[in-house]
Amino acid sequence: MDDIPISAMLIALVVLLALSGFFSISETSMMALNRYRLRHLVSEGSRAARLTDRLLQKIDKLLGVILLGNNLINAAIAVIVAEIAKRLLGEGEAVLAAATGIATFFILVFAEISPKIMGAAYPEQIALPASYILTPLLRLATPIIWFVNLFVQLLLWLLHLKPPTDSARPLSMPELRTLVMEGANFIPAKHHTILMNLFDLEDITVDDVMTPRAQIEALDIDAPIESIREELATTNHTRLPVCAGSLDNIIGILHLRKVLHQTRSEELSRETLKEILREPYFIPEGTPLFTQLQNFQGTQRRLGLVVDEYGEIQGLVTLEDILEEIVGEFTSNAPTRGNLFTPQPDGSLLVEGRCSLRLLNRKLGLNFPLDGPKTINGLILEHLENIPEAGVSLKIAGHPIEIVQTQDRMVKVVRIIPVPVREEAV
């Protein structure tokens, strides 16, 4: 080694630092690579992505060839730096210590920290091209890696450790939710909202979206036939529950399309209506929306009546109600859907007491609690534990509320002053 000029050793040092940096940057970029993005590139036919995917499927061998190359090169760097220091500064313990410090500095800055930062910042741009070099290196170093892994396996056996299998652990629903939340910057806003709503379907029940019993529009088969005709002509719904006397006696569900078809051939009568009724479909209260969506699909139904543990009807749920929780509200002219809240010139809102808290939170960005009552009327009654009079003011969830009108033992209209929900500082 004494015959090698210092200039040649300096050139060799630069080359070795570059090679060590290559192994470091390759290791970090391979580990930081987005696996879902990589599989997408593989499906599109990218050769570099296919090579990278094969390397990552043999992660133990990949790390073996990277660490083997890195350690050999770093050892060579230390020897060259020590030789250069000996020629320039002479021999001695101080020179050896200085050479060690210089070699450590060069390796940390140029072969470890800087390359790894770049690899973490640009994993895809670095890992895919690096696969063209690492693949043949892995083939050449396979015998050495196999020999080294014998000792690794022996050590793991002595420590009673089982190496991880190739099968990836499936993500849980909370983990998938976190993945979608963190990917908000890469997903269109509407798609992100739909995905997040899908995760909420397991936590929301039919009680949260149903039309309450008092607002159900039903057809009384015992009413005069002229009243029945008028109600059929003026209804905004395509399907109507049909009862005999009261909602406690539901006899079926009427599809208005069948009514129109029937009236073309004969006069409308009670007997005709009973013939075209479909059996009512009942839903236990507390059923998760995702479960009910599957039930609607399995039974080919679009409307169901929610009943409690005693069989009493509590409300009505349609397929559209569930779909609106996923994609947002559809345009609807139904009187029970519109005019639930009216913006005022002073920035406040006049809200009907029957308006659901979920609707207020979703449409107006409020933060009323959803784990108790379902309507603003129920929330106020629970909070005050009394039926208030008009003019009473209170604050719930940080929102000032004024009672404007009460009627029939319920809060009819309230005024709400929205307060923006402050995001917690990260």
Q: What pLDDT score was predicted for residue 287?
A: 92
Q: What pLDDT score was predicted for residue 231?
A: 87
Using CB atoms within 10 A of its CB, is residue 128 exposed (0-12), middle (13-18) or buried (19+)? buried
- Where the chain has pLDDT below 50, the residues are 166, 333-336, 421-426
Residue type, 55: L
Q: What pLDDT score was predicted for residue 327?
A: 84
Using CB atoms within 10 A of its CB, is residue 390 exposed (0-12), middle (13-18) or buried (19+)? middle
Q: What pLDDT score was predicted for residue 349?
A: 85
| Cα angle for residues 140, 12, 77 (degrees, 5° grid) | 80
CB of 418 closer than 8 Å to CB of 365: yes
Residue 356, SS3 per DSSP: strand
Model confidence pTM above 0.95: no
Which residue spans of the chain are classified as CATH 3.30.465.10? Answer: 341-416
Please give the helix or strand (H or E) that residue 145 lies within, else none.
Answer: helix 123-158
Closest CA to 254 of 268, 267, 295, 265: 268
Which residue spans of the chain are classified as CATH 3.10.580.10? Answer: 209-319
Topology of domain 209-319, CATH? CBS-domain (3.10.580)
Domain spanning 341-416: which CATH class is it, in words?
alpha beta
